[in-house]
């Protein structure tokens, strides 16, 4: 390896360094290119509208968990938060009950509360986030079943169903939510003092503390934001399928974490970007859409999906290590 890279000249190294940053983007473009060559139905405006709409829920969760992973933590309760917030919102969203803002705010509040609960336990108890959020994952699922009495909550108002199903000037509302959330999350991470502190804590918690950063406050904020974004995802999902499902969102946390990691967020903390996470989420969405378009059998879909994800991350890993030499 060493030999190989020393033989390559200076210029190649520069290029490799550039690739490292965009490795996953290149993998993403390559997959899109291949798909558009195989099926003409892939590269159309209507298909991409659908892909991005489908991706929006996972992307919102992935944005939230990106904050958390950068601080060196993890949140396994995402899927359960989706269910709880969806149920809370749907219970208040029957026609002629309340104006649509009420279920939306109630759902968001539920998510913020659950996130803050995670944050409180994690910072006060020093129990690893993995364990704490594993616990809240189960608690959340139970809460969703209790609130809904184990049954789907249907018959929701049209204004509520607009959130997941409506369009503004031909752009589906979930896409608008996605874009706004992406911009806000990127700005928070890159331009605000909170974002800088998030990177600092994940990079070296002790050093961050010694720099006068109130580590617990920042962590608290991060888990709360993550809960809020999960609530947004929960409300979108509920509105999209026009029913609150107590078992909704099961396993969503894995897709969200996968999107963040594919996008270059390191599980050891300290690095990651929202753009990377967005591409990670899109990559997963594109593969799933492409396989459906090609009518690949269910059994093979799972194999292909897993293989492509590993391939994309391995490719990215190679580029990163090439860039570091």
Partner 1 sequence: MTLHSDSILQVHGLSKSFSGVNALDDVQLNLHRGEVHALMGENGAGKSTFMKILIGLLTPDAGEILFEGNELKNNDVNDVLKQGISMIHQEILIVPELTVAQNIFLGRESTQWFSSWLNDRDINQQAETLLQQIGLEVSPKTKMKYLSVAEMQMVEIAKAISNNAKVIIMDEPTSAISDKEVATLFAIIKDLKAKGVSVIYISHKMDEIYQIADTITVLRDGKYIGTKSAAELDRKSLITMMVGREINTLFPEKSSSKGEVVLSVKNLNERGKFDNISFDVHAGEVVGIAGLMGAGRTEIARAIFGLDTFSSGEIVLKGHKINIKSPCDAIKNGIGYVSEDRKGVGFIPALSVKHNITLASLSNHTKWGMIQDKSESAVATQMINDLKIKASGMDQKVTHLSGGNQQKVVIGKVLLASPEIVILDEPTRGIDIGAKFEIYKLINELTTKGIAMVVISSELPEILGMSDRIVVLSKGKQTALLSKEEATQETIMKYAMQH
Partner 2 sequence: MKKIYLGLIALATLAGCNQTSEKESGEKKMVIGVTMLSMQNEFIVNVSDEMEKKAQELGIELITVDAERSALKQIEQVESFIAQKVDAIVMNPCEVEASSPAVTKALAAKIPIINVNSETSTKPSAFVGSDDVESGRIAMKFIAEKLGGKGNVVMMHGYMGQAAQIKREQGAREILKQYPDLKLIAHQTGEWDRAKSMSLMENWIQSYGRDINAVFAQNDEMGMGAVNALTAAGMKDKVIVVSIDAIPDALQAVKKGTLDATVFQNAQQQGAKAIETAMKLYKGEVVEKEVLIPFQLVTKNNVATFIK
Catalog residues that contact partner 1 under the rule CB under 8 A. 2-3, 6, 10, 13, 187, 191-194, 196-197, 199-200, 202-204, 206-214, 270-271
Partner from partner 1, partner 2, none contacting 90, C-beta within 5 to 8 A by type: none
Partner from partner 2, partner 1, none contacting 230, C-beta within 5 to 8 A by type: none
What are residue 171's phi and psi, to 5 degrees?
A: -100, 120
What's the distance, CA 325 to chain centroid? Answer: 31
Token pair 């108890």: residue: 125
Phi-psi region of 168 (alpha: psi -120 to 50; beta: other; left: phi over 0): beta
Measured from the CB atom, the residue of 41 and 209 that comes closer to partner 1 is: 209
Closest CA to 93 of 101, 144, 81: 101
Q: Which of 240, 255, 258, 277 touches partner 2 (CB under 8 A)?
A: 240
d(CA 245, CA 151): 7
Closest CA to 216 of 120, 150, 102: 120
Measured from the CB atom, the residue of 54 and 277 that comes closer to partner 2 is: 54
User: What residues contact 35, with CB distance under 8 A and at least 6 apart?
Assistant: 42, 43, 286, 290, 293
Residue 247 contacts partner 2 per CB under 8 A: yes
Q: Are 230 and 81 in contact (CB under 8 A)?
A: yes
Element spanning 172, H or E: strand 171-172
Partner from partner 2, partner 1, none contacting 118, C-beta within 5 to 8 A by type: none
Residue 321 contacts partner 2 per CB under 8 A: no
Measured from the CB atom, the residue of 103 and 164 that comes closer to partner 2 is: 164
3-state secondary structure of 171: strand
Closest distance of CB 40 from partner 2, Å: 11
Q: Are 305 and 290 in contact (CB under 8 A)?
A: no
Strand partners, 244: 153
Contacts with partner 2 by CB under 8 A: the residue count is 37
Q: Which of 8, 109, 116, 134 touches partner 2 (CB under 8 A)?
A: 134
User: What residues contact 268, with CB distance under 8 A and at least 6 apart?
Assistant: 72
Query: Alpha-carbon dihedral of residues 159, 103, 74, 283, nearest 10 degrees?
Result: 0
Binding mask 285-314 for partner 2 (x = CB under 8 A): ---xx--xx-x-xxx-x-------------
Closest distance of CB 325 from partner 2, Å: 42
Token pair 């992307």: residue: 59
Closest distance of CB 9 from partner 1, Å: 9
Partner from partner 1, partner 2, none contacting 179, C-beta within 5 to 8 A by type: none
Which span sits near partner 2 by CB under 8 A: 4-12, 120-128, 242-250, 253-261?
242-250
Measured from the CB atom, the residue of 88 and 208 that comes closer to partner 1 is: 208
Closest distance of CB 151 from partner 2, Å: 5
Q: Around Cβ 187, how many Cβ atoms within 10 Å?
A: 12
Partner from partner 2, partner 1, none contacting 277, C-beta within 5 to 8 A by type: none
Measured from the CB atom, the residue of 204 and 275 that comes closer to partner 1 is: 204
The residues of the shown chain that bind partner 2, judged by CB under 8 A, are: 39, 41, 44, 46-47, 50, 53-54, 57, 134-135, 138, 145, 150-152, 154-155, 165, 237, 240-243, 245-248, 288-289, 292-293, 295, 297-299, 301
């Amino acid at each position: 390896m060493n030999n190989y890279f020393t033989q390559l000249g200076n210029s190649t190294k520069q290029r490799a360094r550039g690739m490292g940053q965009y490795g996953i983007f290149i993998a993403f473009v390559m997959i899109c290119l291949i798909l558009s060559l195989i099926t003409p139905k892939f590269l159309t405006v209507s298909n991409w509208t659908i892909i991005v709409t489908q991706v929006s829920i996972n992307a919102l969760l992935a944005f939230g968990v990106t904050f958390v992973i950068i601080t060196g933590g993890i949140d396994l309760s995402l899927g359960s938060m989706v269910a709880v917030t969806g149920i809370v919102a749907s219970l208040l969203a029957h026609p002629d009950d309340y104006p649509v803002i009420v279920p939306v705010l109630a759902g968001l509040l539920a998510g913020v509360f659950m996130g803050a609960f995670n944050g409180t336990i994690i910072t006060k108890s020093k129990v690893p986030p993995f364990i704490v959020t594993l616990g809240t994952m189960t608690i959340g699922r139970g809460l969703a079943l209790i609130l809904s009495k184990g049954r789907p909550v249907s018959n929701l108002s049209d204004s509520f169903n607009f959130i997941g199903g409506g369009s503004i000037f031909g752009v589906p509302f979930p896409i608008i939510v996605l874009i706004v959330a992406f911009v806000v999350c990127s700005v928070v991470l890159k331009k605000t003092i909170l974002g800088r502190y998030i990177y600092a804590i994940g990079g070296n918690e002790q050093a961050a503390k010694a720099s006068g950063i109130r580590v617990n406050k920042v962590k608290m904020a991060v888990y709360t934001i993550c809960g809020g974004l999960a609530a947004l995802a929960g409300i979108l999902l509920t509105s999209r399928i026009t029913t609150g499902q107590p078992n909704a969102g099961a396993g969503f946390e894995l897709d969200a974490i996968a999107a963040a990691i594919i996008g270059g967020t390191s599980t050891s903390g300290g690095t990651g970007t929202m753009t990377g996470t967005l591409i990670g989420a899109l990559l997963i969405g594109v593969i799933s859409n492409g396989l459906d378009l090609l009518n690949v059998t269910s059994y093979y879909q799972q194999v292909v999906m897993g293989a492509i994800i590993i391939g994309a991350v391995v490719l990215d890993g190679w580029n990163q290590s090439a860039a570091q030499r």
